[in-house]
Amino acid sequence: MPFLREKGIHLYLKREDTIHPFISGNKYRKLKYNLLEAKKQGKETLLTFGGAFSNHIAAAAYAGHEQGIKTIGVIRGEELSNKWQDNPTLQLAHEHGMQFHFVSRSAYRLKNEPSFIQKLKEKFGDFYLLPEGGTNALAVKGCAEILTDADAQFDYICSAVGTGGTVAGLINASLPYQTVLGFPALKGDFLSEEICTFVHNDRWKLVTDYHFGGYAKVDQQLIEFINLFRGETGIPLDPIYTGKMLFGIFDLIKQDVFEPGTQILAIHTGGLQGIKGMNLVLKKKNLPLLDV
């Protein structure tokens, strides 16, 4: 884009969204070592958590299908139990064999409590437990593999942040002269403490100004940016994570936050399956639709 040349900034996008047709981006990385561990433990079932449009739910379902592991999705929102067929993400997960367990939002908040997990074990039997968003130490290990020797030229590594696993992996894999910037999709700075439990250095920062009101919240300005970006580059962006991150990077560049000559690597973490679901929401709100 012309203004990048005017500012003297070099921005590159690493297309993690293209590494697998269904388990794309960071979800592939997060699941890699967890699936190996599940098989090592002899587990035949994987249970995890997510919302109605969760990229993680869709990816876990396909990965289980591919690896011959049964999958159970604990889904936030019991009102979905009678209308999940209208949800593109849940349809995709169901097609790949995932069994759903719908719970109320209040119950969902207890998902990390031992008593809640015990009730799930009583209902479903033995399973390999994967947290919401797939973030744990094995997921962080997988996400560290996003960066390779070819990325040594960059001054900044940028990633969207959901549960913190992806950016933690990038922080651990970054070189001493590189800074990692995380762009949370959720409102607030509460993820810093979670990220600190996984990382080994302090060369990182969360940029908390580009959540657009909170998780899964979008507005016309963001939609127009995503559609313009696709029109000029041919690259689709999801509106929950990568779209917000790139909007933020462009805004920081316009504010001259980066010195001329700075080389920035932004990670495209996938999530494109969620566009269909988001367009259903946008249509109800009479907002412009995302290009598909």
* pLDDT tens digits along 14-29: 999 999 988 988 999 9
> Where are the alpha helices (H) located in the chain, listed in sequence order?
2-7, 26-40, 55-67, 88-95, 105-108, 114-124, 137-143, 165-173, 191-196, 220-233, 242-254, 274-284
The predicted pLDDT at position 189 comes to: 78
pLDDT at 149 over 80: yes
The predicted pLDDT at position 7 comes to: 87
**From CA 38, how far away is CA 47, in angstroms rounded?**
11
Q: Which residue has the higher pLDDT, 46 or 188?
A: 46
Q: What amino acid is encoded at 144 in this protein?
A: A
pLDDT band at 90 (very low <50, low <70, confident <90, very high): very high
pLDDT band at 33 (very low <50, low <70, confident <90, very high): very high
pLDDT at 3 over 80: no
pLDDT, mean of residues 252-271: 96
State the pTM of this model. Answer: 0.95
pLDDT, mean of residues 195-200: 96
Element (H, E) at 69: none
Listed range (16-25, 136-145, 169-178) with the worst mean pLDDT: 16-25
The predicted pLDDT at position 71 comes to: 98
**From CA 94, how far away is CA 161, in angstroms rounded?**
26
pLDDT band at 188 (very low <50, low <70, confident <90, very high): confident
Span 50-62, pLDDT tens digits: 999 999 999 999 9
**From CA 46, how far away is CA 69, in angstroms rounded?**
7
pLDDT band at 105 (very low <50, low <70, confident <90, very high): very high
Q: CA quadruple 190, 194, 195, 201: dihedral positive or negative?
A: positive
Span 218-233, pLDDT tens digits: 999 999 999 999 999 9
**From CA 241, how far away is CA 110, in angstroms rounded?**
25
Listed in sequence order, the residues at least 6 apart from 18 whose beta carbon sits closer than 8 Å to its beta carbon are 24
pLDDT above 90 covers what percent of the chain? 94
The predicted pLDDT at position 243 comes to: 97
The predicted pLDDT at position 6 comes to: 84
As a whole number, the mean pLDDT across the chain is 95
Instruction: Name the nearest CA neighbour of 58 among 275, 291, 274, 239.
Output: 274
pLDDT above 70 covers what percent of the chain? 99
Pairing of strands 263-268, 99-103: unpaired
Instruction: Name the nearest CA neighbour of 71 among 137, 5, 22, 105.
Output: 22
The predicted pLDDT at position 248 comes to: 98
